[in-house]
């Protein structure tokens, strides 16, 4: 049996991918009802300008559509089945659903306008009383992330890596990143310690077992993205889905 986990931030990955279709309102609601600290989802900007939730650039794996999402009309995307009858949500619909019930990690999946468009949507929420700290914007595309930070400097950003950067934690300082998100198989304790010395927590993706979480915490990781929040949390009562 595993030793008890130290306090760990639990983030639902693509909603709660192990329990409901990924990047859908149902998945995000599932994660929130389980009492996650926050939810992570992937956002793309359609050539029409709309922001929508989808991980892949293509439609086949998660919807009943075909081809590149960017080559379909936005109306066509919205008619697709994203799993169990769920639709491809817009960013605004998603934020309406979350309604400040947890932290919101928006991962920028496209570039060339995505950062600025997300900044506009977040600015509208801040004007409605959301706290900037409620959001964390992340990306593997660090220049796009930097563009987001310039457009919306008050919202924390996180650099995403699926490896270990040659420049080490110095790159985090260059970006002004508040934290760093790391692939679980590339968590390097020295890199995590260097980030922590500068006050930057490290979270790891995708962590689905208590043993893996335990191992990562010994390397300094303080948060996890999980497809299975129920393995780490007990359900809590939240407002019913509208």
What residue ranges bind ligand G3P (CB under 6 A)? 13, 40, 42, 55, 107, 138, 160, 181, 205, 225
Among positions 5-44, residues that touch Mg ion (CB under 5 A) are 42
Among positions 43-82, residues that touch Mg ion (CB under 5 A) are none
| Minimum gap (Å) between residue 102 Cβ and ligand G3P | 15
Q: Rounded to whole angstroms, how far apart are CA atoms 194 and 214?
A: 20
Q: Pick what 29 binds: Mg ion, ligand G3P, none; C-beta below 5 to 8 Å, kind-dependent.
A: none
138 binds, among Mg ion, ligand G3P, none (CB under 5 to 8 A by kind): ligand G3P
Are the C-beta atoms of 226 and 12 separated by less than 8 Å? yes
Residue with the closest Cβ to ligand G3P? 205
**How many other CB atoms are found less than 10 A from the CB of residue 234?**
7
Residues 159 and 175 sit within 8 Å (Cβ to Cβ): yes
Q: Which two tokens stand for residue 181?
A: 């998100």
Interface residues for Mg ion in 96-115 (CB under 5 A)? 107
Nearest distance from residue 129's CB to ligand G3P, in Å?
26
**How near is the Cβ of 181 to ligand G3P at its closest, in Å?**
5
Contacts (Cβ under 8 Å, ≥6 apart) of 33: 235, 236, 238
Residue 181 interacts with, from ligand G3P, Mg ion, none (CB under 5-8 Å by kind): ligand G3P
Nearer to ligand G3P, 94 or 138 (CB): 138
- Separation of alpha carbons 40 and 15, rounded Å: 6
Looking up tokens 């769920």, which residue turns up? 86
DSSP 190-201: HHHHHHHHTT--
Among ligand G3P, Mg ion, none, what does residue 86 contact (CB within 5–8 Å per kind)? Answer: none
DSSP, collapsed to helix, strand or coil, labels residue 157 as strand
Residue 215 burial (10 A CB sphere; 0-12, 13-18, 19+): middle
Give the residue with the Cβ less far from ligand G3P, 19 or 127.
19
Per partner kind, with CB cut-offs from 5 to 8 A, the member of ligand G3P, Mg ion, none near residue 215 is none
**Interface with Mg ion by CB under 5 A: which residues?**
42, 107
């Amino acid at each position: 049996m595993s030793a008890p986990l130290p306090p760990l931030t639990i983030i639902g990955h693509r909603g709660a991918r192990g329990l409901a279709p990924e990047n859908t309102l149902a998945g995000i609601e599932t994660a929130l009802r389980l009492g996650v600290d926050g939810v992570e989802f992937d956002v793309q900007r359609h050539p029409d300008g709309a922001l929508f939730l989808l991980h892949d650039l293509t439609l086949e794996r998660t919807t009943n559509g075909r081809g590149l999402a960017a080559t379909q009309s936005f109306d066509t995307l919205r008619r697709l089945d994203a799993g169990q009858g769920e639709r491809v949500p817009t960013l605004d619909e998603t934020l309406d659903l979350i309604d400040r019930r947890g932290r919101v990690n928006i991962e920028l999946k496209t570039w060339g306008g995505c950062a600025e468009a997300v900044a506009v949507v977040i600015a509208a929420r801040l004007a409605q009383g959301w706290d900037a700290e409620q959001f964390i914007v992340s990306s593997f595309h660090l220049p796009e992330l930097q563009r987001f930070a310039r457009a919306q400097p008050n919202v924390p950003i996180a650099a995403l890596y699926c490896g270990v950067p040659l420049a080490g934690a110095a790159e985090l300082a260059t970006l002004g990143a508040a934290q760093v998100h790391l692939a679980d198989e590339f968590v390097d304790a020295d890199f995590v310690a260097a980030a922590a010395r500068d006050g930057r927590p490290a979270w790891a993706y995708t962590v689905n077992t208590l043993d893996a979480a335990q191992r990562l915490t010994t390397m300094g990781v303080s948060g996890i993205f999980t497809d299975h929040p129920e393995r780490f949390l007990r359900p809590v009562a939240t407002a019913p889905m509208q």
